[in-house]
Structure 1
Amino acid sequence: MNLGINYDRILNKAKYKYVIPIIAAKRAETLKNLDELKGITEKKDYVSIALKELENGKIQVKNSALLDSLSK
């Protein structure tokens, strides 16, 4: 399943390349938990879905000011 994820577009929104996998993993975990609560047992690629949501701006980086201060 290729969702056509453009990592450069994600980098423009998140700035820090090491934050992107953390955000995607947390969102993927949330998506999986939501599906389990709904009783959906279908296998999905939750990380790809989360990366696509990040690319499309559906999820955003919280505390970007804190990240900026830590990087200095």
Structure 2
Amino acid sequence: MKLGFNYDKIMGKIGLKYVVPIIAAKRAEVLKNTEELEQTKKSRDYVTKAMKEMEEGTTFVKNQENLDSVRTDLK
């Protein structure tokens, strides 16, 4: 199944698997509530657009060091 984005690339940039869907959901909400992207408004695929933005690096975690403090060493 083709998703339109590479989840492994996103995980390489973010590093925390539970943070990725939170960032995607928050960005998708912004896309939905603004007139920022007319093309996205037509397709209504906000989450995929948010994931693509994370993959491209246009959407990112602003305070990565705060996330590093909650990272565990469990394997």
TM-score in terms of structure 1 length? 0.81
Percent identity between the two aligned chains:
54
What CA deviation, in whole Å up to 9, does each residue of 1:1-40 have, x standing for no partner?
x5521000000110101000000000000000113xx8xx
Partner of 1:28: 28
Where relative contact order (Cα < 8 A, 6+ residues apart) is larger, the structure is 1
Count of equivalent residues: 69
Query: Which residues of structure 2 form unaligned runs of 5+?
Result: none
Structure 1 or 2: more helix by fraction: 1
Partner of 2:65: 65
Tell me how far apart the structure 1 counterparts of residues 42 and 56 of structure 2 sit (CA, whole Å). 24
Tell me how far apart the structure 1 counterparts of residues 66 and 8 of structure 2 sit (CA, whole Å). 22
Q: Which runs of 4+ in 1 moved over 2 A?
A: none
RMSD: 2.3
TM-score in terms of structure 2 length? 0.79
